[in-house]
């Protein structure tokens, strides 16, 4: 056996899939689905029964969870659809930089500096005003399919 110690520089993730398959007929309203390779939240599902030899089809109306665009898809109910792994994580807001990036405190005490301020005007103004007033703010970050965005804000009181 060799005495050399091998060191591998790995810059990949764990190989976990960004989506998982789920039968179209089992996806419900308020669930998630991938339409046109975008993660979406389902707002409406209708199932149509077809003729003698056809499949029943599911008609999905969904809204992109990051940009708010409305997307539609029709899939046979027996076929599989991709469903994104959607995670929500809360971080404490530390700082807002001039170029529109936020500095967040993670649970293990590290900082996360790669997120932009949200594009949603009301949420953006709430974050900026609360930060200017010196409040302790906690932001919820939604992540799916390699994208992340601030989606909600909690005020946990003034800084001491």
Residue 12 banded pLDDT, cuts 50, 70, 90: very low
> What are the percentages of helix, strand and coil residues in the chain, rounded to 5?
10, 50, 40
pTM of the predicted structure, to 2 decimals: 0.76
| pLDDT for the residue numbered 28 | 93
Q: What value does the mean pLDDT of the chain take?
A: 84
Topology of 86-155 in CATH? OB fold (Dihydrolipoamide Acetyltransferase, E2P) (2.40.50)
Of residues 87 and 55, more confidently modeled: 87
Contact (CB, 8 A) for 135 and 118: no
Across 39-68, average pLDDT:
89
pLDDT at 147 over 70: yes
| pLDDT for the residue numbered 124 | 85
Return the SS3 of 62. strand
Class of the domain covering 19-84: mainly beta
Q: Which residue has the tokens 């960004």?
A: 18
Contact (CB, 8 A) for 18 and 144: yes
pLDDT at 153 over 70: yes
Ordered by start, the domain boundaries in the chain are 19-84, 86-155
Contact (CB, 8 A) for 84 and 19: yes
Residue 119 banded pLDDT, cuts 50, 70, 90: confident
Nearest-angstrom CA–CA distance, 58 and 51: 14
């Amino acid at each position: 056996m060799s005495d050399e110690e091998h060191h591998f520089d790995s810059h990949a993730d764990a190989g976990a899939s960004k989506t998982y398959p789920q039968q179209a007929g089992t996806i419900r309203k308020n669930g998630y689905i991938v339409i046109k390779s975008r993660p979406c939240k389902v707002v409406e599902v209708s199932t149509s029964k077809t003729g003698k030899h056809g499949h029943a089809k599911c008609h999905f109306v969904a809204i992109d969870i990051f940009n708010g665009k409305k997307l539609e898809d029709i899939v046979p109910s027996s076929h599989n659809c991709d469903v994104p792994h959607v995670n929500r994580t809360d971080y404490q807001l530390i700082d807002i930089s001039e170029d529109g990036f936020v500095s967040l405190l993670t649970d293990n005490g590290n900082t996360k500096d790669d997120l932009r301020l949200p594009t949603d005007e009301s949420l953006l103004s709430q974050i900026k005003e609360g930060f200017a007033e010196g409040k302790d703010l906690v932001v919820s970050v939604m992540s799916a399919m390699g994208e992340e965005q601030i989606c909600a804000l909690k005020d946990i009181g003034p800084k001491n």
